[in-house]
Amino acid sequence: MKSKYPCKWPLGLDVLRSQWNANKDKRLLAFQQPFVDKWGPSFEISILGSVGYTTFDPDNVEAVLSSRFDDYCLGSRRGAMFPFIGEGIFTQDGAPWKHSRDLLRRPFLKTHYQDLKGFQEPINNLLSVLASSTGAIDLQPLFFHFTLATTTSLIFGQPVESSEKDGKDSFATNFDHASWITALRSRLTDFYWAYNPSHYQAACRSIKDFADGFVRRALSANNKDAAGKPTGRYAFIEDLYAELKNTTLRHYGVSAIMDFVRPTPTLRAVEAEYKLTRLDSFLLVRHPKVLDRLRDEARSVVGTNSEISRELVQKMGYLKCVLNETLRLYPPLPLNVRFANKTTWLPRGGGSDGQSPVLVPRGLGVGIVPYYMHRRDDIWGKDAMDYRPERWEGPGVADVGWAFLPFHGGPRLCLGKDFALMEASCLIVRILQEFPNIRLPPGYPVVPTGQEKQELTVFLKSADGCKVVVH
């Protein structure tokens, strides 16, 4: 690899120390931006005696995730994530991964053809909370619970609101904590096993117990009302049960939750929708002109209709631009790692000019960073750091290809992509219908996009929440 990230201390301890401090200050990705701009889009880095590559070159990303997919595996990430996620498509490679994905694909395809009525009850519950609010309110925890409700409703046939409030709050707390520790374990690569604190184990057990409860209730129910009539509610898990013919579905339940909502990655599930709705609102209230135009489009296309259909969503061209721009600046999975399971190569990064292929020895890790790829000014223009949905209306980004990676790509493309986009679309439109004057609290500080405090765990979220005024 032509470019090598400079380390001053043995084992790259200076880099680890700087990253630790920046992460503690909630500004890790912003802190690293000037370094990756200087040494990227592909460079070699040596940490704790292990050499790895980092790339945000679209051709290299395509090679790792698609054309040379079989040359790479999860490596140490399986062990680092396993206590949190369990057995499933996010911790599997090869034949086990293919089997799990095939099991999940058919139910996911079925949800694509479902109407959007399943979102109505959770949306109405959230709107009710907003309507009763006074002063500034933080949307971030509300969106987390909303996403839990829609996801558990689809997967298990009943929303999380059906369970006790204490259980819901406990799940959210344990989910955040387990995400944080899992991210730290992943950064330790082969030494992940050295950090396995008891509170992390307890949080992971609590998450699995929470999912277990829904699995048991979903399998014992038949989705009929008190009169014995079908409720019409689709339960994802029933299709899985029909496929597996047994009740040992705990790990599939947990993986389905994770796969459905995470921004995006990658771990891409509970978080993908949660992050998309949260960050859309975060960005919209900071850009009043964008908010005004989107509100006008919603009035023109949807009017006062509270039942949002796919047909109406597909007519809202500017809404699609808003979603794309949010996913560009804040991809659900901002970074990812794959390990070579055989000696292979990347299309670019070698030679005197960095444009020649580069050898990837067996066992070497390749870090993929959509967060920085989506901010390259040679791809997105000099205003790449700016939030500007209008860029998606012109021909300039028509052929970006693998430079835009909102829902991963290749064989591991996120199965929950359609669900996440439809959910975010419905919620945003309904909030604009009910609260057209939504805005930032008076005097609330606005910093440049990407410079806000962020919590980078397995996912990425605002460290300061998403404060708004709706009345």
- Given a contact cutoff of 8 angstroms between Cβ atoms, the answer to whether 225 and 183 are in contact is no
> Which residue, among 204, 156, 157, has the nearest Cα to 179 in the 3D structure?
204
Distance CA 109, CA 12 (A): 46
Rounded (5°) CA angle 280-283-287: 130
Instruction: Report if pTM > 0.75.
Output: yes
Taking the CB of residue 65, how many other CB atoms lie within 10 A of it? Answer: 22
DSSP 3-state of 281: helix
> Which residue, among 202, 241, 204, has the nearest Cα to 86 in the 3D structure?
204
pLDDT, residue 226, reads: 47
pLDDT, residue 341, reads: 97
Distance CA 296, CA 290 (A): 10
Q: Pull the structure tokens for residue 137.
A: 């309110």
**Terminus-to-terminus CA distance in the chain, angstroms?**
55
pLDDT, residue 136, reads: 93
Weakly modelled stretches of the chain, pLDDT under 70: 107, 110-115, 155-169, 214-215, 217-278
pLDDT, residue 240, reads: 65
Residue with tokens 């609290």: 441
Residue with tokens 């509970």: 270
